[in-house]
Amino acid sequence: MNQATAHPVIERYLRDLERAAQALPRRERRELLAEIRAHLEEGLAASDASDAAVLNLIDGLGEPEAIVASAGPTTPVRGPGVLEVLAVLLLLIGGIVIPVLGWFVGLVLLWASSAWTLQKKLLGTFVFPGGIALPLMMGLMATRVGLPPWAGIPLLIVLVAAPIVVAIVLLRSAERPAR
């Protein structure tokens, strides 16, 4: 955060605004927050940056709820749909149900959906290709080569946990554009 907006009153205001703006689609929320932040920085730069100036600036902006309300009636952003849930499931365990192909179908669904950002799609693709099938196979192989349990078991847990965590992240962050 910029030094100018590091004032506790401003920080609290921005947090409140962020909470109120949850109802807005991701993109609009980001833009609104960036604009309000810029407004505060600009206003502070033009003032003596005293506590009174900060309070006046905040008063001038108005209640976070009022700001978000002026975005007009917002259709609540929808969470994951059937396709999104299916995509995540297939990415995670599709590789076990139908080796390779199951995971691959999940991948196609992941990239076809508009519910995720590019970042999230990349995350879903690379952690891990094959879902938990791959770490399980690697784990089996590791026991065959005789990796000592004190090294093998924690490694296996991490390898299995990572795709599960990613699956949860994907489900929670899925945000379908309002109709």
Partner 1 sequence: MDNGRTDIAQLRRGIVEYCLLALLVERERYGFELVRTLSDADLVASEGTVYPLLTRLAREGYVTTTWRESRSGPPRKYYALTVRGREALRDFSEEWGRFRTTVDELLSEGNER
Cα distances (Å, whole numbers) of residue 12 to 49, 67, 127, 154:
17, 16, 35, 41
* Dihedral sign computed on CA atoms, order 98, 103, 105, 106: positive
Asked if 23 is part of the footprint of partner 1 (rule: CB under 8 A), the reply reads no
Task: Say how far residue 36 (Cα) sits from the centre of its chain.
Answer: 22
- Residue 18 sits in the site that holds partner 1 (CB under 8 A): no
Q: Is 28 in the site for partner 1 (CB under 8 A)?
A: yes
The Cα 26–Cα 23 span in angstroms is 9
User: Smallest distance, Å, CB 174 to partner 1?
Assistant: 22
Tokens matching residue 166: 């990613």
Shortest CB 57 distance to partner 1, Å: 9
The token pair at 101 is 């192909």
Return the residue of 1, 6, 8, 45 that touches partner 1, per CB under 8 A. 45
* Sole binder of partner 1 in the list 19, 31, 51, 164 (CB under 8 A): 31
Selected from 1, 70, 82, 119, the binder of partner 1 by CB under 8 A is 70
Residue type, 175: E
Is 122 one of the binding residues for partner 1 (CB under 8 A)? no
Residue 123 CA to residue 127 CA, distance in Å, equals: 6
Q: Is 63 in the site for partner 1 (CB under 8 A)?
A: yes
Of 1, 8, 48, 60, which lies in the binding site for partner 1, with binding defined by CB under 8 A?
A: 60
- 78 pairs with which residues across the strands? 176
Identified binder of partner 1 from the candidate list 49, 53, 71, 123, rule CB under 8 A: 71
Interface residues toward partner 1, by CB under 8 A: 2, 4, 28, 31-32, 34-36, 38-39, 41-43, 45, 60-64, 66-72
